[in-house]
Amino acid sequence: MNNTTNTFDTLGLDSAILKAVASEGYTRPTPIQAQAIPAVLEGHDVLAAAQTGTGKTAGFTLPLLQRLSQTPRRSGPRQIRALVLTPTRELAAQVAESVRTYGKNLKIRSTVVYGGVGIEPQKRAIAKGCEIVIATPGRLLDLANQKAVDLSAVETLILDEADRMLDMGFIHDIKKIIAQTPAQRQTLLFSATFSSEIKRLASGMLKDPVLIEVARQNTTAEQVSQKVHHVDRHRKQELLIRMIRENDWKQVLVFTRTKHGANKLSKQLDAAGIRSEAIHGNKTQNARMKALKSFKENRVRVLVATDIAARGIDIAALPHVVNFELPNVAEDYVHRIGRTGRAGSDGEALSLVCVDEHQLLRNIERFIKVEIPKISTEGFEVDPSIRPEPIQNGRNNRGRCGSGRGRSHNRSGGRSSQSRHSRSAR
């Protein structure tokens, strides 16, 4: 496969699709697009290691649209010919948006379904007929159980952010969904990392896949400049406010570990005259979408998010990501900083690390195989007399997870109860 292709014209895409790509302002395919588009067009299964920000969505959406528009649908009502599974509602909504954008010159209908909103309108949308369904696993299975979706005509199945779906305990749902699709189908699996669990899943569902790897395994996006600032626990918000003001940051995504922490920080930022919004699993889908829109449109300067809520957030060229608290899971660090430096633009990821988090930092540095450069600020020197305290992960939220209606407590996906508990507070 050609890795150096530098125009879209040579990838085998139709003019209707090329027109849509051009109107997005894309001039050159990203490496994953250069590799995935021809492979998918040729009908191969694909196993791709690619993080958010690499352009993977267009990498599968463009050739998918082309294949659907080239091969006529069977006569009679529209059947679901392609299914995209995503771990979160936000990612589902974003993929659906991409499908609409890239397919605007085609006669292909798509529908997005996810939990947290009413099921009836989704049933009606599917009953009207569509070729592409983008879905989170839980809601799709609910619809399937109610006989509201028929997956027997699916030609292409796409698992986006498969590692995340496994992390969130969706493995059983995914297997049940796959069992409802024809064995004769094209399958594309995208994952930021390749754990043994992912390899097992892939070997069971992919046939002779084309392997695509655009970033080295478990490494962070290269164009992101990473920094660590050691600071005392209770001075983090003061330092953050100072950095936002002094550097005149206009759009910052800040990660906290818990929902409570996100709300608290957002209030502190507002009190300092820095407009912010918090998004996390306790907010309704509409509230999360609204906050994201305000942020994208620069009406809100800081978006404070927990890992699960921020998953899949797509903001082109987000310049600053701040880890107000380090994540407990080293892999989440990679996902977090993947929000910046997207598709070729530069980004900066700053982590504010207090004495409680030294072990987490060591775990992250070992995981990404990089020692992150340290910076300091005058007046914010660390007080060596402060002793480490256990990390608080939030309370009273046991068993709730970000992806849908609190059903996730049965979906631990094989993680330890410690880690499950820590995820529940997000």
Q: Which residues bind ligand AMP (CB under 6 A)?
A: 26, 28-30, 33, 52-58, 314, 316, 342-343
Q: How many H-runs (helices) and E-runs (strands) does the chain carry?
A: 16, 14
User: Which of 62/368 has CB closer to ligand AMP?
Assistant: 62
User: Residue of minimal CB distance from ligand AMP?
Assistant: 57
**CB 98, min distance to ligand AMP, A:** 7
Closest CA to 162 of 87, 75, 103: 87
User: Which of 131/314 has CB closer to ligand AMP?
Assistant: 314
Closest CA to 30 of 70, 64, 59, 66: 59
User: Which of 38/53 has CB closer to ligand AMP?
Assistant: 53
| Integer Cα distance of 313 and 330 in angstroms | 19
**CB 6, min distance to ligand AMP, A:** 10
| Integer Cα distance of 17 and 66 in angstroms | 7
**CB 242, min distance to ligand AMP, A:** 30
Q: Is the dihedral of CA 22, 27, 30, 33 positive or negative?
A: positive
User: Which of 178/292 has CB closer to ligand AMP?
Assistant: 292
In order of 6, 17, 61, 131, the CA distances from 34 in angstroms are: 8, 15, 13, 25
User: Which of 59/169 has CB closer to ligand AMP?
Assistant: 59
**CB 294, min distance to ligand AMP, A:** 18
| Integer Cα distance of 286 and 289 in angstroms | 5
| Angle ∠(278,281,282) on CA atoms, nearest 5 | 80
**CB 11, min distance to ligand AMP, A:** 11
Q: Bridge-partner residues for 230, per DSSP? A: 353
- Read off the tokens for 401: 């997870």
User: Which of 56/335 has CB closer to ligand AMP?
Assistant: 56
The amino acid occupying position 230 is: H
**CB 256, min distance to ligand AMP, A:** 23
**CB 281, min distance to ligand AMP, A:** 21
**CB 30, min distance to ligand AMP, A:** 5
User: Which of 226/340 has CB closer to ligand AMP?
Assistant: 340
User: Which of 49/228 has CB closer to ligand AMP?
Assistant: 49
| Integer Cα distance of 204 and 221 in angstroms | 29
- Read off the tokens for 206: 């992919």
End-to-end CA separation in angstroms for the chain: 41
